[in-house]
Structures are given as C-alpha cells and as structure tokens.
Amino acid sequence: MLNRNPTATKVAQGAVIAALYVVLTMLFAPISFGAAQVRVAEIMTIMPLFTSAAIPGLFFGCILANLLGGAIVWDVVFGSLATLIGAVFGYMLRKNRWLVPIPAVAANTVIVPLVLRYGYGVDIPLYLLALYIAVGEIVGCYILGELFASVLLKHNSLKELLAGKGKKNP
C-alpha cells in the first residue's frame, strides 16, 4: 500500500501546474507576450477551484514562463505578482466556480498595462492597454478556462486524483 504524504502530493500538484503553465506559455509564445496578448496558459487560473497547490504552481509557472520568454525584471516580478494575486483570491472564491477567474482577470488588467507602459515603453494609452489585456484575460481565463474546468468536472478523475483516490497499482 502506498504511503500518501499530503505535503509531497501538494508539491507535486504545484509542480505539474507550474510546468503546464510554462509549456502552454512557450508553446503559444507568439500570442503570450506583448501589448495585445492571449496567454493560453491562463486556462490554468481555474486550478484554484480544485487545489490550493495551484497558488504556488501558477506563481512559479508564471515566473519561469516570463524568464524563458525574455521578459524584463519588472515583468517577471509584477506580472508574476498579478498571477499570485489572482490565484490567492481565486482560491478564496472557489465555492463558486464562475468567480474563480475574476481575480486573475482583474489583477492582470490593472498590473500588466503598467508594466507594458512603464517597463517596456509601449506607447499606447493605458486605458487601451488595459482593454487589450482584459480581453486577452477574458479569453484565457473565462472562455478557455471554463471549458477546461467543464472537462475536468465532467470527468471526476481529476477530483479523485487530487483527493488521492486514483487507481492504485498492485
């Protein structure tokens, strides 16, 4: 019989979430960065609905993705902080799955345009940058994220896996 260590399970879950965030960001790199972006990896912002391990997973995944994507230090720090804020508050709202993506959308809509404008010198009015980021976040977090959540909820396998009730090998 396997000895299940809850701490090790959470660390593994967070690592998988971080890895998926990085892979999705880099796989879709052409649309993951810039003033008008749809970061497909933002589908992972729905994961606080399922596990608290998503909080560090999303945060470290965003840090790694930004570093690998060649982001400036301000983007690595503040972009990742926006993801952390979204994950923490998304987890707090997990009792209603439709609310979980709101903090990610809001945090990124406020923080990322400032990084784009003052860090990268993007010469577009802040309100337009905020609009561009908000639209990209809505696509990533709500449209793609909710489709992802629907699939995960339809197939209870993820819920069982996260609860440690998956199939055991003899």
Domain-wise residue ranges, the chain: 6-30+38-162
Give the pLDDT score at 31.
94
For the chain, give the longest Cα–Cα distance: 61
* pLDDT above 80 (res 158): no
Six token digits for residue 130:
């905020």
Helix axes 126-137, 102-114, angle to 10 degrees: 150
Please return the burial class of 7, using the count of CB atoms within 10 Å of its CB with bins 0-12, 13-18 and 19+.
exposed
Give the pLDDT score at 170.
39
Give the span between the Cα atoms of 159 and 34, in whole angstroms.
35
Least confident interval from 64-73, 93-102, 139-148, 155-164 = 155-164
Six token digits for residue 46:
């729905």
Average pLDDT over the chain, rounded to whole? 91
Comparing CA positions, the residue from 153, 156, 112 lying closest to residue 136 is 112
Helix axes 102-114, 73-92, angle to 10 degrees: 160
Query: Which is more confidently placed, 166 or 97?
Result: 97
Give the span between the Cα atoms of 29 and 124, in whole angstroms.
21
